[in-house]
Amino acid sequence: MSRPPRARPLHALRSGVAAVLVGVVATAAAWYRLGPLTRATVWAEDGGPFFRDRLAAGVDGSLLRPYAGYLHLLPRLVVDLGFARPIEQYAVTIAGACCVVVGVVAGAVFVLARDLVPSWPLRLVLAAVPVTVPVVPYEISGNAANLHWFMLVLVPWLFAARVRTWWAAGSIAVLALVAVLTEPQTLLFAPLLLVAWWGRARVAGLRALPVTLAVIVAGAAQVVTALTTERASRPGHPTVGDVGRGYLLQPLAGAWTRYVGTVAAAVDRHGAVVVLLPVVVVLALVAAALVVGGWRARAQVLALAAGSVVVWTAALVANASADGGWGEQPVAAFVGAPPTRYAAASAMLLTAAVVLAASVLVDRRTWVRGEASRPAAVALGALGWAAVAVVVAAAVLAAAPGVTQRSGGPAWRPQVESQVPGCRTDPSGVVHAKTAPWGTTIPCGLVLGDR
């Protein structure tokens, strides 16, 4: 049902305010979950290739420079922001900017999921997924190097959005352009563009044109880059066991605990039922949502659930280093193992699929087959609420800052400030700063700044 013209501005204002509130809270939560030393430490490419490229080529020359076989627009923009601030604040600037991006993702999902998840508390749980999934802070949160993973949570909602105004169409197109120019795997969700076009009046359907064009242009740029740029990473050759057992011990486990190694320990003690039972429950949840949900809900649940498996598999195929050999070694070998960044992305998609499917089951307004028997409706509702309760419980138990790849430092700011006297002696020189896990050189002119 379309809204009266007079109601649309008020509705847009309320949606905008809600998105901002959700984004602010999500940003603060992401920042808190990192912990002080993690926020103060520069990670990997943020102090490596991205940092060096920005020094050597400036903004214009580094923004669309390929790295590892694809474009990284958003991380490059974040690094540019880091250079715009005093260099001793580089680490916290990067961490803060990345948390803001995650907040934007959460706010956008909260607004875009409105049609499929009318209940705002359930939609809030869905929007919070990129912040609350237990394994997210371990490596991918708060740094530009892994910012691209969050685009995979956002684009299913951008691509399938059925917007009501041209302003909204333009905004979604911009977000999609940035997302696809940041992560080429976002193209896996391109079929969802059909949802934005399907079954709409001609003028309304044309509002899907901006996002479609954005995906085509950005996707073409990523494909050309991939075909013309060499990747340093060797492709992997995972077995079915590597993919399957790895998925159970990493993304599935990481969706409910940050300590994925303890899941391997439980499997070693009690058998495969520890991970197979949750798989059966998730499959039942998704299958039920596919039966009773509307066609748009079905498409979205299927895209998120399948996307979780496909993204995990693609990571193992594209990167030999991503394959932990889960199919070749006994499960006891993975007791105490940490989560991987590839598991975090897949876990976010899996959790989003679970929350969306659960939302469909508990809200009969979204059902196509609303005439189900009362016992069946009660059973499906109970299954949905149980799934939501597990997701919320996992988020609460993992809310406090924990061990991350950067929780041991080294903090960036003290290193830079300690180099100021030496740089005053030789302003044309360079100094070295340690990062996790590498290091970088900084021109003294940058260290001195306006001092």
Q: Give yes or no for residue 4 having a pLDDT over 70.
A: no
With contact defined as beta carbons under 8 Å apart, do 248 and 331 qualify? no
Q: What is the DSSP letter of 258?
A: S
Q: Of 7-21, 123-137, 259-273, 341-355, which range is least confident?
A: 7-21
Rounded to the nearest angstrom, the gap between the alpha carbon of residue 113 and the centroid of all alpha carbons in its chain is 16
Q: Give yes or no for residue 1 having a pLDDT over 50.
A: no
Tens digits of per-residue pLDDT, 257-294?
A: 999 999 999 999 999 999 999 999 999 999 999 999 99
Q: What is the DSSP letter of 366?
A: G
Residue 8 CB-half CA count within 13 A: 11
What residues contact residue 257 under an 8 Å CB cut-off, 6+ apart? 134, 263, 394, 397, 398
Confidence of residue 8 (pLDDT cuts 50, 70, 90): low
Q: Give yes or no for residue 400 having a pLDDT over 70.
A: yes
Find the length of the chain: 451
Q: What is the DSSP letter of 178?
A: H
CA-CA distance, 257 to 238, in Å (whole number)? 25
CA-CA distance, 344 to 312, in Å (whole number)? 9
CA-CA distance, 317 to 212, in Å (whole number)? 28
Q: Which pLDDT value is given to residue 450? A: 78
More confident call, 88 vs 1: 88
Q: If we measure between CA atoms, which residue out of 391, 407, 400, 405 comes closest to residue 133?
A: 391
